[in-house]
Amino acid sequence: MSYEFEFADVFAYWPELAAGALHTLVLSGLAMAIGMVVAVVGALAKTSSPTWLRYVVDAYIELIRNTPFLIQVFVIFFGLPSLGLRFSSNSAALLALVVNVGAYGIEIIRAGIESISKGQIEAGKSLGLKPLQIFRLVILKPAIQAIYPSLTSQFILLMLNSSVCSAIAASELTAAAGDIQSRTFRSFEVYFVATSVYLALSIVFWCLFAGIERAFLRQPSRR
């Protein structure tokens, strides 16, 4: 094999890679935050709303979970302009990520809400706790403990899925890598470095989330 690896050509563009990684984090963070608002509203609608509204939420969930994310991005960026709704590439990427993570988040949060037994809530009422205290002390923490691993996994998947948004030239790491590759023609080196960055980000967040769980959410051991 006569191919010579030249990572120096790639690292010469490290400011663009760093900017791409930062944009990926910002895009993922915003999408997760807004998506969780959508998920909470959807989960409440699915667990305590009229039947017709539950059907609407179910249709939304099934539509998103059973279609490719890339198609969802294309529909928003290329399809909606036909209806007069135009978005920049970054706005379309954010909207697509929010719509996608919202659908998955609804089911995660619904499972957390339904994991709290009615007996616990009744016990809180019998102790004279007010509704806000019941929500904070009886429902919120156990529900978060139940869904926390799924939510953290969903964030990691969301961050990795944001690479698909490079197909519409959104400002993120994969798009930055593609620009660098077109200038250096060092495909292996560029995408190896991009892969390493995604892996490093994932490991950092896994460690961060694990630390948060140990510090705030883990049940105390009984002896």
- The DSSP secondary structure of 28-94, one letter per residue, reads HHHHHHHHHHHHHHHHHHHHHS-HHHHHHHHHHHHHHHTS-HHHHHHIIIIIGGGGT----HHHHHH
Average pLDDT over residues 71-77: 97
Tokens of 151: 């939510």
| 18 vs 122: which has the higher pLDDT | 18
pTM: 0.89
- Summarize pLDDT for 117-147 with one digit per residue, the tens: 888 878 888 888 887 777 777 777 788 888 9
